[in-house]
Structure 1
């Protein structure tokens, strides 16, 4: 199975995790997904009042420069570890 196929399977698996991960893990999942799917962060940082969007943007921005393949593999590994 290719890395892209494994990534897509992990995305599907992430929607059926046995437990909802904590917020920090959810941010990590989001950031790894965005880096793996889209590459480096784009757009403007959301304003101070949009806490959720700002946290997501910042988590993704922390991965700037990470190769998409590396982010995909990290995402796959994280989802697999959460599946139990």
Structure 2
């Protein structure tokens, strides 16, 4: 696994046209944030901000995961979504 594969997956996710569930979007987001920024470093948003709170919870759920592991999981999830879209 290298940075190039991760960057290719980042580009590939933008080209997906098939439906991606909110749960899958949150998972991809959480791996991306963990891979690029490490552990969640922002305060918890208010519960009334449902979208931001869901994103925060997803990212914070990866606390302690290495950036390399997050990159691997991100690439694997994007590949899964590409296969799903291809049918």
* Number of aligned residues: 83
Which residue is 1:49 aligned to? 48
* 1:9-38 residue CA offsets vs partner (Å, 9 max, x unmatched): 101000111313101000000000000111
Q: Indicate whether 1:16 and 2:12 are aligned.
A: no
Cα RMSD over matched residues? 1.0
Where 1:18 maps in the other structure, the secondary structure is coil
Which residue is 1:29 aligned to? 28
Q: Which runs of 4+ in 1 moved over 3 A?
A: none
2 CA distance for matches of 1:7 and 1:39? 15
* Unmatched runs of 5 consecutive residues or more in structure 1: none
Map 1:66-77 to 2 at 5 A: 66-77=65-76
Q: Is the 8 A contact 1:41 1:60 kept in 2?
A: yes
* Unmatched runs of 5 consecutive residues or more in structure 2: none
TM-score by length of 2: 0.91
TM-score by length of 1: 0.94
